Amino acid sequence: MGLILATNDDGIRSPGLRALVEAVLPFGDVVVVAPSTQKTSYGRSLMGEKTERFLHTEYEVSGTMVEAYHCECSPARAILHAFDVLFRDRKPDLLVSGINYGENLGTNITISGTVGAGLQAASFGVPALAVSVQTPLGDHHEYSRLDWTVVRHFARRFASLMLEKKLPADVDILNLNVPSGATSETPFRWTRLSRQPYFSNRIDSPTLLSCLGDAQCCYGFDRSKVEPGSDISVFNQGLVTVTPISADLTSRIDLRQLAATADGP
């Protein structure tokens, strides 16, 4: 039995968060800390007014009352504050983040508040599981009706793995993405991040007078150039993807090679 911190970027009232808590509830004591309202795409930003603080809320899942708090701030800021005020004496054994409305793949993952919360936990040495499910683009900011059975199954499977076994060095986060058509029998694949953006913004006839809100979210990857075995490639085969993420963003290069480049003619 462990101590599990649950969060998301869709807000404390998200059905996805409740489904995630339900998935991990058998594994130990769960504490919920989430933004008060929708904070999609806040990444690892530490947004929040200095006067904001945690507000306790009644949170019942499967007949169990769960300790839960919310704050009008970004997911990463909520996690930072939680380590200051809730977990000074004992760190969580695992952070679970999600279940996010919309898949988090490719180079877009650092935009995600779901993954951003995981990165914040990793800075405290706590492993994190970021969980996302595929939804239509228009539902990324809405609490659309979803059947959480399948994604809850995979969340429970990998949360159990992370609590029972120590992950290899340099694996700080598992980024789990479940296609909308998946079943509990759908295979999963270990993948690497694609170097392509999965989503992008598009403005029709852009000018200097174009507003930020004129941009429409669309799929941004080139199918002909997606790397085989990458998260985007595997996900688009209808398979569940699990991508190990490191908080160490150092380029995977022999530093002597970089030094030779800098010292060269």
Residue 239 confidence (pLDDT):
98
Rounded to whole angstroms, how far apart are CA atoms 102 and 22?
Answer: 19
Q: What global pTM score does this model have? A: 0.94
Residue 264 confidence (pLDDT):
62
- Confidence label for 139 from pLDDT (cuts 50, 70 and 90): confident
Residue 265 confidence (pLDDT):
57
Strand 188-190 and strand 128-133: the pairing is: unpaired
DSSP labels, 127-190: -EEEEEE---GGGTTS------HHHHHHHHHHHHHHHHSPPPTT--EEEEEE-TT--TT--EEE
**Chain centre distance of CA 19:** 15
Q: Which long-range contacts (CB under 8 A, 24 or more apart) does 25-29 make?
A: 25/61, 25/62, 25/64, 25/66, 26/156, 27/1, 27/2, 27/159, 27/160, 27/163, 28/1, 28/2, 28/3, 28/4, 28/93, 28/163, 29/1, 29/2, 29/3, 29/4, 29/67
Residue 188 confidence (pLDDT):
98
Kindly compute the dihedral angle of the four CA atoms of residues 217, 223, 224, 225, in this order, to the nearest 10 degrees: 70
Strand pairing partners for 185? none
Per the prediction, the chain carries an average pLDDT of: 94
pLDDT higher than 90, residue 196: yes
Determine contact, residues 241/189, Cβ cutoff 8 Å.
yes
Rounded to whole angstroms, how far apart are CA atoms 164 and 89?
Answer: 22
Rounded to whole angstroms, how far apart are CA atoms 74 and 65?
Answer: 25
- Confidence label for 237 from pLDDT (cuts 50, 70 and 90): very high
pLDDT higher than 90, residue 145: no
CATH superfamily ID and name for 2-203+212-263 = Survival protein SurE-like phosphatase/nucleotidase (3.40.1210.10)
Residue 158 confidence (pLDDT):
98
The string of pLDDT tens digits covering residues 38-71 is 999 999 999 999 999 999 999 999 999 999 999 9
The string of pLDDT tens digits covering residues 153-189 is 999 999 999 999 999 999 999 999 999 999 999 999 9
DSSP labels, 11-51: -TT-HHHHHHHHHHGGGEEEEEEEESS--TT-TT---B-TT
**Domain spans, the chain:** 2-203+212-263
Closest alpha carbon to 77 in 36, 107, 110, 108: 36
